[in-house]
Structure 1
Amino acid sequence: MSNMFCLTAVSILYLPVLLFEAFVLSKGKYERSVVPSSASRLVARMDGDIIIGALFSVHHQPSAEKVAERKCGEVREQYGIQRVEAMFHTLDRINSDPNLLPNITLGCEIRDSCWHSSVALEQSIEFIRDSLISIRDDSEGSKWCIEGVPSSQPPSTKKPIVGVIGPGSSSVAIQVQNLLQLFNIPQIAYSATSIDLSDKTLFKYFLRVVPSDTLQARALLDIVKRYNWTYVSAVHTEGNYGESGMEVFKEIASQEGLCIAHSDKIYSNAGEKHFDRLLRKLRERLPKARVVVCFCEGMTVRGLLMAMRRLGVAGEFLLIGSDGWADRVEVVEGYEHEAVGGITVKLHSREVSSFDNYFLKLKLSTNTRNPWFPEFWQYRFQCRLPGHPQENLNYARNCTGYESLEDNYVQDSKMGFVINAIYAM
């Protein structure tokens, strides 16, 4: 789908990718959609004897203006819908295998974290409520507490979760773990790589299927040394992922004699004026510090690329990005020219062909267990579903329901880790 060239891996776990050298990605752009209010707090459930909870970023995080309202952004395919479907697909495979868990059926409860700590905590509280519904009050006989009301009968539908998969962001994962461990609920992360999460004295119920950012910081420095860059600027995303990762990078950079011209931080959902101000500060270090090492989430990188276009400085900087950027098309879509020459690293993970076979056959009329699917379908194909509760009025064309997901399809680069986390639970 894109023209990019792979470099030799500098670590067995990381693969640097040189992006867009003299080429530009194919257009395939989507218009920005407004998330219908009815889709803001939907929950996907799959019945089973044992229930696994999951937090996926089905929508982008709230904009700076919408944080107080906890109103999430637009729907996400790779980080959201694909991961929801990966959960369903993996549990289907486990339940159909008579050798894995005979006579036991796994189910799930999937909630939207919106890549934001306040939303994730709100949804985690719902997980905890489900886990506490079977607590009995024996002071006045055997009673169950259901939705805050005493009952002589146990709840018939909800079951406590045995653990939580996710969320994706390190900063959000730390907030969620601080809550879950109070109730002895285990958590397995598929992309939270912060070094701080390795501290078992603080996060005793936390596990992950990815390495910490110590190795990634080393990989970024190896790239800088490989091209003999000795004077660079450094930017990181405000939050645990960027801060802890950049701290390690600076520490080992000083040991290797690398000079940091300017260091700064910014929120992923910061406004345009904040990104413009950051970019002006970086320009003050030109032409010596043209290379910018960015230990950033993907949307932080996108914010920088957008600022480059607004200020007309495309080509003045060369970005070295962490795995938050990796090879994600959504980060550079529409701003390929500004990203030319950038180098990123990503966690090494093979594509999961069985997921492609499953996902690409999904149809709007038959996929009823994913409550966010109608919203995604409209966004994906830029059409509307007349009369549907999630109808998006921003689109003029009506959906036929026979559109193909194979068009412009790209599998989530961390799909293998999401599936590994489910099996690990």
Structure 2
Amino acid sequence: MWPEQGWALLHLLLVASLSQAEEMVCKLREDPENPHISKDGDIMLGGMFSFHSSWKNRDDTYMHKPLSLQCTRLNFRAFQYAQAVLFSIKEINNSTDLLPGIKLGCKIYDTCGSIPRAVRMALAMVNGNEEVFVSSDAPCTRPAEIQTIMGETSSSLCRAIATVLGPFHLPMISHFATCACLSDKVKYPSFLRTIPSDYYQSRALAQLVRYFGWTWVGAVRTNADYGNYGMAIFTEAAEQLGICLEYSVAFFRTDPPEKIRQIINIIKHSTSKVIVTFLSHMDLDILIHEFSQYNLTGYQWVGTEAWIFDSQTAAMDTHHILDGAIGLFIPKAHVSGMKEFMLDVKPLNSSGNELFTEFWEGLFNCKFNQSDLSNENEKVCTGDEDITEIHNSFTDMSLMPIFNNVYKGVYAVAHALHNILGCNETCNSKVQLNPFTILQHIKNIRFKTKEGDEVYFNENGDPAAKYEIINWQPTQNGIVDFVTVGLYDASLPADRQMNIENKTLIWAQNSLQVPLSVCSEKCPPGTRKVLQKGKPVCCYDCIRCAEGEFSNITDSITCERCPSEFWSNEKRDACVKMEAEFLSYEEIMGCLLTAASLFGTCMTCLVAYIFFRYRKTPIVRANNAELSFLLLFSLTLCFLCSLTFIGQPSQWSCMLRHTAFGITFVLCISCVLGKTIVVLMAFRATLPGSNVMKWFGPVQQRLSVVGFTLIQVLICILWLTISPPFPFKNFREFKDKIIIECALGSAIGFWAVLGYIGLLALLCFFLAFLARKLPDNFNEAKFITFSMLIFCAVWITFIPAYVSSPGKFSVAVEIFAILASSFGLLICIFAPKCYIILLKPEKNTKKNMMGKGAPKTS
């Protein structure tokens, strides 16, 4: 029994009128719709194809009943699909294995590509067209005239038909409607198809575009369900892959020319060189015609199965606008015997209607009625024309994979009927066929055709999604060769779905170079992408990475920070280990300072040698030889301690350099301080009644030096115990260098060491300043004053120079201060004595030291 919804819709179309006679007749309110191609059989299949692709517009006044739709533009492709249905039925009827004893028939209607007409044809097939005589106790109902419907080609038509047929659960199997919307089983429960859904094709197209690096493309679509839904899915997938659409326009072949010209202007003024299309071949023909009028070439076309394998479209492209096009098509197929059957057009005449006459006249470009000849180039049809002499879209077999889809759809119905009727050697013809039962069996069938193709439907009524990647390659004779250059299989893992074969591809304008279509050039390593304001994400500027950052990939959106102890190279595409900077012996500055230190050490040793050799001379003995030798020893240590500042700092060198410097300098200043005090005491001892020398004799002198030095040793021990200096990698001074230096550890300890040295130096300077006017022959206070003046001046200027000097230069400043102060002490205190010892030996006498010799010289 029909569902209640079905009867409700059926009663809207049927009017039951009861006559006064004994018999009742159910009549259609409208004129009956007769099939355009029919074949008798025990079980009837329906078919719906657009034998005409357009119709004449009319203005309805609503004052009288509208006339029937007047169809125009004969479409030979639809005749091929109808022939595929007839071939399949004939093959099944001749088979002893499938539906034995059952003959399939068909009724095929022309929709003209019109949605209202398609719905009308569908309802005609459901409820029948002839008058029905019924008894007084029977309603105006009857079983469906057909069991399934094969077709339609257009997604929009299929949506309209499937919506109407859904409540009846009448199976509808399309061979070419790819709109993903038709996979919705809630809206279209009885719709199935033998071609993959655009859900997969759209994503495959996006992956294909991304594979060739096209991130800036234009999009043109048919303004119908096929184009709108397909392009919507493509746009979503493209965005996920980083592809941007510069424009997306839609049109339909019946649109006014002004709208087509607007689209042409948009494309002409665009910067993208790739056009992705979701167009029917009829809409594409119109667009290509406009392209040729404006002489627009050089665009790379990316197409769908609707036209990419269509030789008719290629033949119409006389300006070679589509040369090099690439796109997706269902895998090639071959059905043995189908081509020969399709080209045998005589059986189409069995329909006995005007369609065959129009088809024959269009096929052979002739007229049966001589009075209909419009010009002398047309000829009269004889009915015996040879189809082998013509070449048009009907004789073109390039769409055999689509014909195979029709073939598989008819066989799916046959296998479902075979199971329902329990066919073995014979079929149970008494089984009452129900469309719902047929639909359920079709959804669950799984079989192989004689060519080995496996046929089944998933839960959405779709087959497995597999595509061949087709490339248009023009030949020398001007014919396009459709070359398979790859495969796409949606059932495989994502990283293996697309497989481009190692073949030569031809691109737009017969180029062998992959065209470039980007809004912005790729950002090389060492830069990052910055989006341009107000533009899509594919439009950006390339900004060089900042210092210390890098990017080692193309089109990086960020620059990464280099790890610690690394810095970006000049190109900013990698990080290199930072140069470790410290004062080394290999560089010129280190060599000069080392030489100066060694020179000072040698000079001090030379002075010590001179003093030792002339130790018994009055000038040596008079100037406290013991303190002089101790001073020379400490100066030697001062010169040598500067060497600890040169070289890469280590834990031991950092502790040694500061402590050795502090102790040796205190030892040195202590000796100078002792010599100064001795001079003052000696002068006081020469005064009558003075006995001060007994308070600062040799023992006291030694104890004072040791005492002053021990205080510094104690400070250094505390410093090293609490917070000693340590090697430190300084990243703050320079961005691209590591300054390896000795951190002070405790700043208080460092400044305590310097402060103590400064305190002793000031004390020594003060005492020497007091003794500066004593007689020259009796003391060296004047030379000590000069030496302390130099010492203090050097270390006072050292502080700001040390603080402001970067990196290794601060170490150099410290070494320079050590050497300068050491040389100052050595030269000021010992140079005059060496001068007298070596060059003026006549002054090196006791008499001269006591002031009784030669007169003083100025």
> What is the TM-score with the length of structure 1 in the denominator?
0.78
Please report how far the alpha carbon of residue 249 of structure 1 lies from its aligned counterpart in structure 2 after TM superposition: 0.6
Distance 1:135 1:250 in 2: 56
Hey, what's the Cα distance between the residues in 1 that align with 2:357 and 2:404?
25
Partner in structure 2 of residue 75 of structure 1? 74
Which SS does the other structure have where 1:410 is aligned? Answer: coil
**Alignment partner, residue 16 of structure 1:** none
CA-CA distance at 1:244 after TM superposition: 1.1
**134 and 107 in structure 1: CA distance in 2 versus 1, 3 angstrom threshold:** farther
SS in 2 for 1:60: strand
Mapped pair 1:46 → 2:39: yes
Does the 8 Å contact 2:89/2:105 carry over to 1? Answer: yes
Amino acid at match of 1:126: A
Q: Is the 8 A contact 2:35 2:107 kept in 1?
A: no
Provide closer, same or farther for how the CA distance between residues 99 and 370 of structure 1 changes in structure 2, counting only shifts above 3 A.
farther
**2:304/2:327 contact within 8 Å kept:** yes
Q: Distance in 2 between matches of 1:87 and 1:346?
A: 21
**Alignment of 1:89 onto 2:78:** no
Partner of 1:253: 238
Q: How far apart, CA to CA, are the structure 2 residues paired with 1:317 and 1:264?
A: 16
> Equivalences for 1:55-204 in 2 at 5 Å?
55-62=48-55, 65=57, 70-77=69-76, 79-130=77-128, 140-142=136-138, 160-204=145-189
Deviation readout 1:263-315 (Å, 9 max, x if unpaired): 11111322322211111012221xx31211111111121121011122232x1
Partner deviation per Cα, 1:144-189 (whole Å, 9 max, x = no partner):
56xxxxxxxx9xxx97111111111111100001111122321111
Deviation for aligned residue 1:232? 0.5
Q: 1:41 to 1:293 in 2, by over 3 A?
A: farther
Question: Larger helix proportion, structure 1 or 2?
Answer: 2
Specify the SS of the correspondent of 2:367: coil
Instruction: Give 1:90 deviation, angstroms.
Output: 1.4
Q: 1:339 to 1:46 in 2, by over 3 A?
A: same
Q: Secondary structure of 2:229's match?
A: helix
Q: Does residue 399 of the first structure (1) align with residue 381 of the second (2)?
A: yes
- 8 Å CA contact 1:70, 1:118 repeated in 2: no
Q: Which moved more, 1:343-352 or 1:189-198?
A: 343-352
Q: Aligned-pair RMSD on alpha carbons?
A: 2.8
Amino acid in the other structure paired with 1:142: A
Aligned pairs for 1:221-370 within 5 A? 221-285=206-270, 288-313=271-296, 315-337=297-319, 338-363=321-346, 367-369=349-351
Deviation at 1:196, TM superposition (A): 0.9
CA distance in 1, matches of 2:75, 2:55: 13
Q: Quick one: which amino acid aligns to residue 346 of structure 2?
A: K
Q: Label 1:66 to 1:292 Cα distance change in 2 as closer, same or farther (>3 A).
A: farther
Q: 1:205 aligns with which of 165, 181, 190?
A: 190
Shift of 1:405: 2.1
Q: Which whole-Å deviations, capped at 9, do the CAs of 1:172-225 have from their partners, x for residues lacking one?
A: 100001111122321111111111111111111111111100221122223322
**What's the secondary structure of 1:302's corresponding residue?**
helix
- Partner of 2:210, secondary structure, is helix
Indicate how the Cα distance of structure 1 residues 261 and 144 shifts in structure 2: closer, same or farther if over 3 A, else same. Answer: closer
Helix, strand or coil: the match of 1:292? strand
Q: Compared with structure 1, are the counterparts of its residues 224 and 336 closer, same or farther at alpha carbon in structure 2 (3 Å cutoff)?
A: farther
* Residue 109 (structure 1) shift: 0.7
The Cα offsets for residues 232-285 of structure 1, whole Å up to 9 and x where unpaired, read as 111111111111111111111111111111111111322322211111012221
Structure 1: gaps (5+ residues): 1-39, 146-153
Q: Following the alignment from structure 1 to structure 2, what is the Cα–Cα distance between the partners of residues 245 and 133?
A: 43
CA contact 1:62–1:269 (8 Å) conserved in 2: no
Contact 1:363 1:402 in 2 (8 A): no
Contact 1:349-1:416 at 8 Å conserved across structures: no
Q: CA offsets per residue over residues 337-392 of structure 1, 9 Å max, x none?
A: 2222322322223133311121223338x84237433322211221111379xx67
Contact 2:44 2:145 in 1 (8 A): yes
Q: Compute the displacement of 1:99 (Å).
A: 2.1
Question: Does 1:218 find its partner at 2:217?
Answer: no
Shift of 1:324: 1.4
User: Do the aligned residues in 2 keep the contact of 1:58 with 1:75 (CA within 8 Å)?
Assistant: yes
Residue 134 of structure 1 deviates from its aligned partner by: 7.2
CA shift, 1:416, in A, is: 0.2
- For 1:115, what is the secondary structure of its paired residue? coil
> Are the structure 2 counterparts of residues 192 and 370 from structure 1 closer, same or farther at C-alpha, using a change threshold of 3 Å?
farther
Q: Which runs of 5+ in 2 are unaligned?
A: 1-32, 61-67, 414-858
- 1:380 aligns to what? 363
CA distance in 2, matches of 1:208, 1:134: 34
In structure 2, relative to structure 1, the CA distance for the partners of 1:370 and 1:353 (3 Å cut) is: farther
Local SS of the residue matching 1:380: helix
Q: Which has the higher contact order (CA 8 A, sep 6+)?
A: 1
**Length, aligned pairs only:** 365
Once the 2 structures are TM-superposed, how far is the Cα of residue 51 of structure 1 from its aligned partner? 0.8
Q: Equivalent residue of 1:61, what SS? A: strand
| Conserved 8 A contact 2:169-2:189 | no
Q: Is the 8 A contact 1:378 1:385 kept in 2?
A: yes
Q: Following the alignment from structure 1 to structure 2, what is the Cα–Cα distance between the partners of residues 358 and 367?
A: 14
* Cα distance in 1, alignment partners of residues 370 and 116 from structure 2: 32
Separation in 1 of the partners of 2:265 and 2:127? 48
Rg: which structure is higher? Answer: 2
Q: Does structure 2 conserve the Cα–Cα contact (< 8 Å) formed by 1:360 and 1:404? A: no
- Alpha-carbon offset, residue 330 of structure 1: 3.0
Cα distance in 1, alignment partners of residues 71 and 146 from structure 2: 25
Query: Which residue of structure 2 lines up, in the alignment, with residue 20 of structure 1?
Result: none
Cα distance in 2, alignment partners of residues 110 and 304 from structure 1? 31
Report the secondary structure of 1:339's partner residue: coil
Cα distance between partner residues in 1 of 2:374 and 2:40: 33
Q: Percent identity at matched positions?
A: 26
Shift of the 419–134 alpha-carbon distance from structure 1 to 2, 3 Å rule, reads farther
Indicate which of 390, 393, 411 corresponds to 1:423: 411
Aligned-partner Cα distance in 2 for 1:309–1:72: 28
- Which amino acid counterpart does residue 350 of structure 2 have in structure 1? T
2 CA distance for matches of 1:208 and 1:370? 31
Quote how far apart the aligned CAs of 1:333 are. 3.5
Q: Is the 8 A contact 1:61 1:115 kept in 2?
A: yes
Change (3 A) 1:70 1:309: farther
Against the structure 1 CA distance between its residues 174 and 348, is the aligned structure 2 distance closer, same or farther, given a 3 Å change threshold?
same
Counterpart Cα distance in 2 of 1:123 and 1:387: 33
State the distance in 1 between where 2:253 and 2:228 align.
13
